[in-house]
Chain A
Amino acid sequence: MAAREPENVGTLVASGNEVLAPGHTYGSVTDKITAIVLTRGTGNKYKVGFATAVGLFIALNVGITVLMAYGVGVWGINIPVGWGYAITNFVWWIGIGHAGTLISAFLLLMRQQWRTSINRFAEAMTLFAVACAGMFPLLHMGRPWLFYWLLPYPDTMGVWPQFRSPLVWDVFAVSTYATVSLLFWYVGLIPDLATVRDRANKRFKQIIYGIFALGWRGSARHWKQYEMAGLLLAGIATPLVVSVHTVVSFDFTIAILPGWHSTIFPPYFVAGAIYSGFAMVIALAVPLRKYYGLEDFLTIRHLDNMGKIMLATGMIVAYSYVMETFMAFYGGNKFDVYMIMNRMTGPYATVYWVLISVNLVIPQLLWSSRIRRNPLYLFLLSFSVQLGMWLERYMIIVTSLHRDFVPSSWGMFAPTRWDWIVFLGTIGFFFTLFYLFIRFLPMISIFEMRDLVRKTAEEAEA
């Protein structure tokens, strides 16, 4: 490059408020990120982690095989609780994905610079979370091999999906989401793949990365087109942040079941999704920055910001809990009142109160900047929120179903070992993909970081 390399001077001591630690040049950024893929190799900790993830992934395969062989009866579901872990996991995973899209698309349009260094792996997280989520609607079906009946394909019998069903909307919402997320992520990767291709020292790697770099040469024309494509995709992806989880919430609100049938659900679900998604990003970011020495790129400022978003969305979720309870009593419908009372005092009261503590009370610690700026505390807190968000979906599904209108049909749901294996198995699947991702693809956007070097340098000069 002919131009003088700008140097990110700033103050030489990190204050924790910058989005990129001082002292980085184009070269140092590129070196540091590509090194993880090309030269550092796999360490023992990576191997242990990867083996654990693959082990769980194998368990998932066993779980699915058993499920296919014997039917959904291997799970704990029954009449009245027709949905159990599968749908809980589906909503949970798809919620987790939302943070990635929010970061990569919404914050891009909002010109939030701090998104740059977390954007790539957050997007990967989205993609993998959607892959995990997408599995469950198929697995939970009684006859999963007929899943394509939910698609509007030209059937010789002239039969279409039943478009009034939110499950059909789900198919569109989730498949759109998966497609856009994949495209967005891949398009974002192209310049970096070219960088890795150029730096790769083995023929095999050069070819592979070369193929996926789609002949990127970094010409001005390329960049012009590329910027436009990125903006367009961001424009398409941004509404999905809101729409996907709104549609997912329709799975519940369209029903007439007390505890499901509620207009508060769409905003409540979207906020909850972002809440859990940021928790997942923190859960991934904290170990990544530690083990790969990325403290310069993933700074305290990032953690602080994400903590703030969690606090904001968490408060929306808390508001929803309060309003849900209030509306049940204010509306005076005996079924709604019973449903709320049953959640709080019935057989699943433990779930409710644990949920309130981990999802509502503990996250109040985020008001303190000491907590927000402490990676360990934030890391632990992110687990609390993720547990909380999982329990929230479990509570909505199970406690609403297990005691609905006709008391004679009241029942209980208890997960079986296959419920657990499939659930934990998808976590294994997620981390298997994620481990592969951090090993083979630049987990932080190199070209955007270089851009950031320039911008922070300019800011420092100004």
Chain B
Amino acid sequence: MKDKNFVDLASVRAGLENGGSKRFWQSLEQLANPEEYQELARREFPVHPPKSAAPGVSRRNVLKLMAASAGLAGLTACTKLPIEHIAPYVRPSEEFVPGHPLFYATSMPRPEGGALGLLVKSNMGRPTKAEGNPDHPASLGSTDIFGQASLLDLWDPDRAQTVLHEGAITNYSEFLELLGQLRGRFLSQKGAGFRILTEVVTSPTLGSQLTSLMAQFPEAKWHQYTPLNRHAERDGLRALFGENLSVQYRFDQADVVVALDSDFLCSGRGGVRYARDFADKRRVRDTRSSMNRLYSIESMATITGATADHRLPLRSSQVEAFATALAVAVGVKGIAAGAQLPAGVPSGWLAGVANDLRQHGGSSIVLAGDHQPPLVHALAHAINAALGNTGKTVVYTAPIEVQPVNEMDSIRELVGDMNSGKVDTLLIIGGNPVYNAPADLDFEKALDRVKLRLRLGIYNDETSYRCHWLIPQTHFLESWSDERAYDGTASIVQPLIAPLYGNRSPHEVIGALLGDPGRTPHDWVRGYWSDQKLATEVEYETFWETVLEKGVIPGTEFPAKTVTARPGFGAAPGGGSNGQSAGAGAMEITFRPDQTIWDGSYTNNSWLQELPKPLTTMTWDNAAYISLAAAEQLSVTNGDVVEIAHEGRKLRLPVWILPGHADGCMTVTFGYGRSRAGQVGNGTGFNAYSIWTSDKPGFGPISQPRKTGERYHLVTMQRHNIITEGGRQLEEESKSAFQRDLVRVASLGEFRSNPDFAADPPEETVQAPNLYPRYDYSTGYQWAMAIDLNSCVGCNSCVIACYAENNISVVGKEQVDAGRIMQWIRVDTYWRGNLENPEAYHVVMPCMHCENAPCEYVCPVGATIHSPEGLNLMVYNRCVGTRYCSNNCPYKVRRFNFELYADWQTPSLYGVRNPDVSVRSRGVMEKCTYCVQRIKEAEIRTQVASRTIQDGEVVTACQQACPTQAIVFGNMNDPKSKVSIQRAQSRNYVLIADLNVRPRTSYLATLRNPNPEIKE
């Protein structure tokens, strides 16, 4: 290969002679290799996006425009923005009092389709906090981390803020003019050469718009693409039942659940609801209560596996064999018996699971993970059918997608068309295909062949950068729309604020292509639903008001479909195995969404970036997760960079040893390694999409990863993950946690024979003498919190809710590494058992609000004091920052502003802050307050009404967000309050009772319900 730095002097001279001595030249390379130099210069000083045609504003045009705008300037006084009524939840708007927040029902579209219903708090027209909508089936009042964090995206200063044409600022009317021309052309050519690429559309209105657009332009095509798509499930169901279906699970009726590499708790379309239903079947009140039983077969250790009663680590490719064997064992017909059970399944395990399932026919669920091939999904549903679960715990409905497609095929077709020059105009709405399309399709290169590339996007991201036009897209809190939930229920996406930067919604852009550029998204949505004739015309106004108020359109959930399983589904198209299993001795790679930033949609969300990932507590990065055995085999340790080659593409990334990960495989997560995410997300982590291919989307074999010798510093919140120091650290920390009785676990059987297993000995719980006088806690409200660790799945929703509610600062990777993360509530993880398949337990740690608070008496200025209601308060203004309180806090829940962490510079971030909570400055201690602002709000409200606060009237932010309702808060002086009832349970315990600090936060011990048939 020619050395690229080599400059051939002869060609330099030739170059000079060619151009004559009068020519200016910039470097020798320019003279020697003019073409290469052009290329170099282009890379160095890119002119992006490439010009399609000279826009050419002549002097004459400028004058024309000036005249026109001067004329129009006078007209603006005559325009009146259309009034679009939004309706607040529960409290009607007449009650609006300045300073008092109102709640509006809306819904958050997920990147993979499906909605999560939200109630969003609006302070004087400024959305500041998202809560779950109790009336929405996917939420029931709770949210996941994305529902909470979506709010921050609205205020993200990195959002696209102006219409860009070839990198230059222009305006929307220019774009409308272009759309008008395009429409004219498409009408005459039937839309030939026109393509639209959207994410998976589950919005009925947008769907109907797109459908009618396609009807107008029959030659045009609408493609849908989302990297984390669900076509494997859909294909599996189609193979089994012969039609496109959506599936929903009724965990509230399932006694036995078998998860085949499925992380169904708190992730995906129905995740929040599933977690609630699952936890409801697990709630234990007394020894007579029953519990469901969860078996999790998974490649990577997830929170679902950590919650499971039995967990089995298997490589992703081995799940198929396990599922086949399970299908045979429960008696699914048409499966060839005698399939080889993968090595590593303990003897009796499969039989135990199968017997348990058979005994719970009609009340069990078998479900497969999204990255599993269609065959595994088909097998899971065949098992469900054989067990009689269909229609009971597993319900099939029409697909909630407006037009179900195989997203991978869809984008493959689009890329094919682009490469063959069939596409001259492409409109990309949402998504980010340049970043997240499979690497083998080389979407970016294909995109460059399209003559006119239009883009409606929230960010000027990788895709927007490659397009000629960028129209800033609305955040869902800025625009009208609608979305279907996992069960088909339609809900309205109601805006809480006018678009911050004049952003446009997809309804408007598609509307303009439909020839109706003036119609607002509100009119589109309202028009669509009025066409559905859900109410008579007379009643429509009231109906619409109710819909807006509740956020949900009643009666729109899809009815259950009766389906019949077809034998021989394994042979049906799409049903077969993709041949993805790794050969003997080779490694296997599994691709998954990231636990906190998902598919990359949230890369620029600092709350989610800083959120410690479940189990690993890693922040700000991703890694290749491997088991301890695999690490030993590769002789790597945490932070060692390996090079992995998948399908001929290479990626270098550090490894992280995850206890409980299956051997012989590694997991990489999507969403990181972005170049144009924004100031938060740029440069974090490693891009797994760069080695991801369209034919092996779930997992596939890789050759042995090569140790590069480089190191990369990965940062975790909990230090115990340093397990490779001879395995000692992990052992010590988790062992200490159990020795100290921080985690108390029993099996259901043990609990029944000894209900008081979690109780502390009486000498540790009596009020020991104290030098200082006691507070009197016998009267008034005495606030307390009880956390049911048996319900907690460790999803982290509470943590993000706390960030949003209490204006908690994000500190960045370096400061997290320095031990200065600011979260007021944290999810601690402890492991027990061997490193190959340990049990993992979570302990949620807010402030304990100790009655004898050790932090209070050591503060020299009285900045942390006790309220008569038992709250341990922090007076920020008085704090001088000695940090003595934190040193003396046995639970280490206090957080200190070591530097100025709050962002005072970015105006748009002012918007997200809760006006009821002060923003802390440098040098001040802070900590959980039990959401004192909410308590005070309720107290003021009830005092005005001359009554006392009822149980359940004060809900802390963590409690409100918790999908499993594990957190209960209330007045412990009221014997009927939920918190008193929880505290009276035999499983109730406090952490480190013998310190006599008397915490107000107590815990209900964890229970497990193992199958007695399976001996481990």
Using a CB–CB cutoff of 8 Å, the interface residues on chain A facing chain B are: 70-74, 76-83, 140-144, 146-147, 149-150, 159-162, 164-168, 171, 251, 254-257, 334-335, 338, 401, 404-412
Contacts and interface: CB of A to CB of B under 8 A. Distances in A.
Given A142-B925, A167-B860, A407-B733, A82 B742 contact: no
B830 A79 contact: no
Contacts of A83: 883, 887
Interface in B836-852: 843, 845
B922 A71 contact: yes
Given A149-B878, A167-B860, A407 B720 contact: yes
Contacts of A405: 740, 890-892, 992, 995
B881 A141 contact: yes
B892 A404 contact: yes
8 contacts: A73-B820, A79-B820, A80-B886, A143-B922, A256-B854, A256-B997, A408-B843, A411-B819
A150 B879 CA distance: 11
B879 A143 contact: yes
Contacts of B887: 80, 82-83, 255, 257, 401
Contact of A78 (B772, B820, B860): B820
A255 B896 CA distance: 19
A80 B854 CA distance: 15
Contact of B862 (A144, A147, A162, A334): A162
Interface string B59-76: 000000000000000000
Given A71-B900, A82-B887, A406-B740, 7 more contacts: A142-B883, A143-B879, A150-B880, A338-B736, A406-B845, A406-B991, A408-B720
Contacts of B900: 70-71
Contact of B858 (A166, A334, A335, A410): A166
B862 A142 contact: no
Given A81-B819, A162-B862, A71 B742 contact: no
Nearest to B923: A142
B859 interface: yes
A406 B992 CA distance: 9
Given A71-B899, A71-B922, A82-B886, A161 B862 contact: yes
Contacts of A81: 819
Contact of B995 (A141, A143, A171, A256): A256
B719 A411 contact: yes
Given A70-B899, A150-B861, A334 B880 contact: no
Interface in B812-870: 815, 818-820, 826, 828-830, 843, 845, 854, 857-862
Which 5 pairs from chain A and chain B are nearest by CB? A142-B881, A142-B923, A78-B819, A73-B898, A82-B883
A264 B814 CA distance: 39
Nearest to B857: A164
Q: Which of A81, A147, A161, A407 has the most CB of B within 10 A?
A: A407
A406 B819 contact: no
Contacts of B882: 140-142, 167
A82 B884 contact: yes
B933 interface: no
Interface size class of B (residues with CB under 8 A): 35 or more
Max count, chain B CB within 10 A of own CB: residue among A81, A334, A410, A412: A410
B858 A167 contact: yes
A146 B879 CA distance: 9
A149 B875 CA distance: 14
B1009 interface: no
Contacts of B878: 149, 159
A70 B858 CA distance: 26
B996 to A, nearest CB: 9
Contact of A255 (B888, B891, B991): B888
B414 to A, nearest CB: 48
A439 to B, nearest CB: 38
Contacts of A70: 899-900
Contact of B897 (A142, A161, A410): A142
B820 to A, nearest CB: 5
B819 A165 contact: no
B895 interface: yes
A171 B860 CA distance: 10
B719 A410 contact: yes
Contacts of B819: 78-81, 411-412
A419 to B, nearest CB: 12
B924 A142 contact: yes
A406 B820 contact: no
A142 B772 CA distance: 28
Contacts of A159: 861-862, 878
Given A82-B883, A149-B878, A404-B890, A142 B922 contact: yes
A407 B881 contact: no
Contacts of A165: 857-860, 884
Given A73-B898, A410-B733, A257 B888 contact: yes
Interface in B884-941: 884, 886-888, 890-892, 894-900, 922-925
Contacts of A408: 718, 720, 733, 737, 826, 828-830, 843, 845
Nearest to B994: A333
B299 interface: no
Given A142-B924, A407-B720, A78 B858 contact: no
B980 interface: no
Nearest to A258: B890
A142 B885 CA distance: 13
Given A78-B818, A143-B881, A161 B861 contact: yes
A166 B819 CA distance: 26
Contacts of B857: 162, 164-165, 254
A74 to B, nearest CB: 8
